[in-house]
Amino acid sequence: MNLILFGPPGSGKGTQAERLREKQGLRHISTGDLLREAVARGTDLGNRVKSILASGQLVSDDIILALMREEIARTAKGWLLDGFPRTVGQAKGLDAQLDELGQKIDALVVLNVGRDAVIERLSGRRTCSNCKTVFHVKVNRPKVEGICDRCGGTLVQREDDKPGTIAKRLDVYEAQTQPILDHYRGRVPIHEFDGEQPVDEVTRSIERVLQ
């Protein structure tokens, strides 16, 4: 089974992706993880990506498509895309790549979350600078303020989790990413869920549809 998990930043895609990965036996391919890995390596591409992410804008299609094609091509048992495609142009590029690879999209899983809820969720996140474990100032606080429970690393607020950047990311999402649903409507099954419900309830709803 090949799935695309779709929704605004902060809609819970990462959590649901991990659960789907375990339940369905899929390979979770996250553009966010791929891009952060590129930044951490400090390559020319990574430095380009770093400045783009900090501004809240989208990384260019050619960079994203190059990263994603390599990952999809070496995944034979089913994949789950998280955070990709983000533009209709990327969706069309993905369609062409899948045709070349003899693969297809089986369904879109859409998490709907309101703008205010997204800003509250993301601006409260704190990420370990060492092991990347994520905490939250309200719903998942560390035992010691500013210190990771898992490895003792320092917790930081990612640049793209700051309120001003979040607002820009949502503006971009509404203008450039939401139209992807129209691109796939009638061609690929689209299943929409209320992402503001409790996490476990969202998971159960998704699992019922995908059974």
What positions carry a catalytic annotation?
13, 86, 125, 158, 169
Distance between CA atoms of 196 and 121, rounded to whole angstroms?
Answer: 11
Strand partners, 144: 147
Query: 93, 102, 80, 75: which is closest to 31 by C-alpha?
Result: 80
Under 8 Å between Cβ of 157 and 163: no
Distance between CA atoms of 65 and 63, rounded to whole angstroms?
Answer: 6
Distance between CA atoms of 127 and 162, rounded to whole angstroms?
Answer: 12
Q: Token pair of 61, please?
A: 């299609």
